[in-house]
Structure 1
């Protein structure tokens, strides 16, 4: 299996490796393997990672992005749920990038169940994420691993646009707000279908997330997220109506909204995460019902 000049996988190498391993991409795990070396170089460049970074990569697959990351960073922790792919990745790296093999650690785990990633702690998440778990992976890693200060992920374009959406946008919603609790989010680029095997039936987007301090509030993150979830569970309703169950009644919802400086006739899609934090804090300060 001959790589390209930089030791990266091209279309022929990806198919040859998959055939040798008996791997057929599965919808169950959302597998679409990158076969374009320029795309993985672009991801690494946009991630802004360097020699001091410990990168966690979720869903490394056959190793296309892994091979591009290893020469640039101190360590890559690759989390792969597919047992065949997890077992094969160290050998692929040893064959194509032997001088960097000691920088790789492979975890055969479900990314959504990972609770620790060892030391030194990861500083970045860089991944071509399986489409079916992309938002839960991003949000759960931001929550569980505060050492991660940068994220660059390739996801379905629709998901990328939703994560990066601003208040008032038609696609603004729960993922936008929860990602904004931890990070500044932006759409860093788009990716066509032909860089994958098999080619998906949707375009992809690159999302950059850079950690920032959460909003200053007396409410907990869980309380703020509960308000967000309630507001978008009935997206078409005014916040007075949508937050009635969350607050205890429509009247209490209105009191909390007014105390937070929010018009009760507003809908959730108009509020940023700081406003939801104010609403959650105001609800805390309401007198007990009855």
Structure 2
């Protein structure tokens, strides 16, 4: 993990008022030629080339002027510039070393007044657990996420940065539907429930294909989130997530059958489900995160009771 050189912001520094120019299609392509790069599918690189789309994303994110924004995959800096216009500070995580080396220069050229309000971390976002210059942590996550790792990245960052109170991410539209789905929906599944552990998710819009270079073959979706407290439970998050994984591993099966391996047997699964107030013949797709938490909690209780019984006799 490396931080790009740059001075710390002076007390009370704020983004410059008024609209400022953003990178357009010609600028993006010129930067790519200068760096000798071609966007790769491996890293999920699709650069936004439309300034109005950037402004739309920034406006929809509801950024507070005094907060720090975390961006993942800044690429050539399209969204980064828009975020610097709205936030007090931007911390960007970039995995591509070529793009990471060029980004501070782009900031210095296009937003010279914002150089001291920008930090760059060269790393895989799935491995980052702390950030430079933000002892209190970032307040918002705003990012155009690579389609292939969008859900793991969102869940990882929400887990390791409890300071993230809200945000807006652009992902594949299908992924956006899954993250924002509620119980009973056809798109409801593991991403939906795990995301609900951290907060409320809602689909905030659809982005067309022609605002990217290269243009993807599918639309993108905007997902806005607001952090809320997880459901009250004595079960750790890891145990609740294990129940969720087991319940959806075979989503056509009843919970009694789907959780039999996780619980040890079908009879044990049924007992745990009934104790949690859940119908054993139901399927995982109809349960909310609070119900999964109760199931995990009842298994812990059953395990504690069994251990106590063995100790006594």
TM-score by length of 2: 0.89
Residue in structure 2 matched with residue 161 of structure 1 by the alignment: 177
CA distances 1:147-182 after superposition (whole Å, capped 9, x unpaired): 111121000000000000010111100000000000
- 1:46-57 matches, within 5 Å, as 46-57=60-71
Structure 2 counterpart SS, 1:199: coil
User: What CA distance in whole angstroms lies between the structure 2 residues aligned with 1:149 and 1:252?
Assistant: 38
CA displacement, residues 92-138 of structure 1 (integer Å, 9 cap, x when unaligned): 11111111121111111111111211324111110000111100000
Equivalenced residues, count: 286
Question: SS state of the match for residue 51, structure 1?
Answer: coil
| Cα deviation 1:18-72 (Å, max 9, x = unaligned) | 1111121001100000001111111111111122111110000000000001021
Q: How do 1:162-181 and structure 2 match up within 5 A?
A: 162-181=178-197
One of 233, 240, 253 as aligned partner of 2:249: 233
Give 1:6 deviation, angstroms: 2.2
Matches within 5 A, 1:137-286: 137-286=153-302
Is the Cα–Cα contact under 8 Å of residues 230 and 243 in structure 1 kept in the other structure?
Answer: yes
SS in 2 for 1:285: helix
Residue in structure 1 matching 2:44, options 30, 37, 44: 30
Greater mean alpha carbon deviation, residues 100-109 or residues 153-162: 100-109
Normalising by structure 1, what TM-score?
A: 0.96
Q: Distance in 1 between matches of 2:224 and 2:142?
A: 10
Aligned to 2:7: none
**RMSD of the TM alignment (CA)?**
1.2
- SS of residue matched to 1:117: coil
Q: Runs in 1 of length 4+ with deviation above 4 angstroms?
A: none
Which residue matches 1:131? 147
2:83 is matched with which residue: 36, 51, 69? 69
The whole-number CA distance in structure 1 between the counterparts of 2:20 and 2:87 is 16
